[in-house]
Structure 1
Amino acid sequence: MSAATVPPSSALLSLRDVHKSFPTGRGRRAGRTVVLDGVDLDVREHACVVLVGASGSGKSTLLRVVDLLEDVDDGQVLLDGVDVADPWVDADAVRARLAMVFQAYNLFPHLSVLDNVTLAPRVVHRRPREEAEAAGRATLDKVGLGHKVGAFPDQLSGGEQQRAAIARALVGGPELLLLDEVTSALDPELVGEVLDLLRTLRDEGTTMLVATHEMDFARQVADEVVFLHDGRVHERGTPAQVLDDPQRERTREFLRRLG
């Protein structure tokens, strides 16, 4: 059996009526907590879509569903029109087309920055070391870490470690970059350097789906802002529409709480 295919659209990624829940409790108290409750979402090629919402709104789970780190209970995750949530799909082949950057840097402490960035190309994709290292050095130059190729993670600032993690994600040339609250573990003075890098990637046409609590970043960089509440899309539109002139009361409440 092959994965289901739907007529192509202008979107690189489309979520259609996606549902996801997790088991809670035991015995008589066993139940399920709904985290995604019928999510529809499109990400066009070269666009930056930013997910906003309170903790527990479903942002991180949505990204993990797209990266096939979590199975859906129902619905479709369409990549170029192919439902990659189909259990018959080769998940590793799909993940090779995507890259995800998490809140934690997840760098290997015993490896240099260059070795961290080139590990997957060399070990997973079997690229020759010389070729992988050339691509790694070019990518580290791109993120402003060309002078840190021989450094180890504990010799980097938090912002530098996160930029190294982004370089690791970029080195394989992903079609879609997924970023999950990549500034939340940083000291405030280091947030700007990571957001500046994401602005550069956006200007260069990198397709991105970003979960963030940085409203200024969303306002300046997003093509579309999607407000999630209780696992549902409550409002979507341009940054000006959603952040400056929200139409839904829950969106207004969320923005008021941010001050």
Structure 2
Amino acid sequence: MTEPTAPLLRVAGLRKSFGTNLVLDGLDLDVAEHSCVVLIGSSGSGKSTLLRAVDLLEEVDDGVIELRGVDLADPWVDANAARARMGMVFQAYNLFPHMSVLANVALAPRLVHGRTKDEAESAAVAILERVGLGDKVTAYPDHLSGGQQQRAAIARALVNGPELLLLDEVTSALDPELVGEVLDLLAELRAEGTTMLVATHEMGFARQAADLVCFLDGGRVLESGPPEQVLGAPEQPRTREFLARLHA
């Protein structure tokens, strides 16, 4: 009998408070390699804090965050080295306005991974072509549309070949007509086998691309399962209430 494959990411008993506000309350979550796990839930349910904790941008109070069996929450772990194994894309694009798109994407390969300027720029050009920005390498961020800026931010997260891609409401700052181009790119990445943990309110993307949908409520995963179950026939009253409000 074949033993089950260990998840790429395992989160267990994760707790995080900001003062008296308990944001993550013993949260458990597994992300299988080459899967797309989508986090849904109301504002304040813990989605962004979870992503930031996995990327070691928030220090947790308790719990385990394992990437390929290595506990990233261990204070002895090299946070920069661990973070270099992941790619994070935020709601805001966070591109340096005084640098070209090429320079923005090539920065991390040079500073974090020690590549030469030529190596970093070659990798950056390749990934910019991959996300449909091959003709924008010399452009500056303020000359791009919001969708193009977000695709550049995704390219920056992908350029070092991360084991795990974390995305936090990456379409929330976009005009409605620009949302589709970013979601199409994420769907392509999913089809290519990129492992993704995505917080989003885009239920169409969740239905199309998610292997697992997790509804967060009160800092815990209240309900999880395939999209057709969680989004189509949720078992928990809170999940049904959330989806009804979203559709309304």
Q: TM-score, normalised by structure 1?
A: 0.93
Query: What's the counterpart of residue 220 of structure 2?
Result: 232
Q: Verify the 8 A CA contact 2:16 2:61 in the aligned structure 1.
A: yes
Count, aligned residues: 244
Q: Verify the 8 A CA contact 1:21 1:33 in the aligned structure 2.
A: yes
Task: Please list, as runs of the form range in 1=range in 2, the aligned pairs for 1:76-225 lying within 5 A after superposition.
Answer: 76-225=64-213
Unaligned segments of structure 2, at least 5 residues: none
Percent identical? 72
CA distance in 2, matches of 1:248, 1:62: 21
Query: What's the counterpart of residue 63 of structure 1?
Result: 51
Give the residue type in structure 2 aligned to 1:13: L
Q: Which secondary structure does the structure 2 equivalent of 1:146 belong to?
A: coil
Give the residue type in structure 2 aligned to 1:74: D
Q: Which secondary structure does the structure 1 equivalent of 2:8 belong to?
A: strand
After TM superposition, give the deviation of residue 83 of structure 1 in Å: 1.1
Query: What's the counterpart of residue 8 of structure 2?
Result: 12
Q: Verify the 8 A CA contact 2:84 2:112 in the aligned structure 1.
A: no
CA distance in 2, matches of 1:125, 1:64: 21
Unaligned segments of structure 1, at least 5 residues: 1-7, 24-31
Query: What's the counterpart of residue 73 of structure 1?
Result: 61
Q: Deviations along 1:164-195, whole A, 9 cap, x unmatched?
A: 00000000000000000000000000000000
CA distance in 2, matches of 1:203, 1:91: 30
Q: Verify the 8 A CA contact 2:91 2:173 in the aligned structure 1.
A: yes
- The reply to whether residue 22 of structure 1 matches residue 18 of structure 2 is yes
CA distance in 2, matches of 1:154, 1:254: 36
Query: What's the counterpart of residue 27 of structure 1?
Result: none
Give the residue type in structure 2 aligned to 1:129: K
Give the residue type in structure 2 aligned to 1:191: V
Q: Deviations along 1:111-142, whole A, 9 cap, x unmatched?
A: 00000000111122221111111110000000
CA distance in 2, matches of 1:175, 1:236: 23
| Larger displacement relative to structure 2 (244-253 or 79-88) | 79-88
CA distance in 1, matches of 2:49, 2:177: 28
Give the residue type in structure 1 aligned to 2:135: H
Give the residue type in structure 1 aligned to 2:246: L
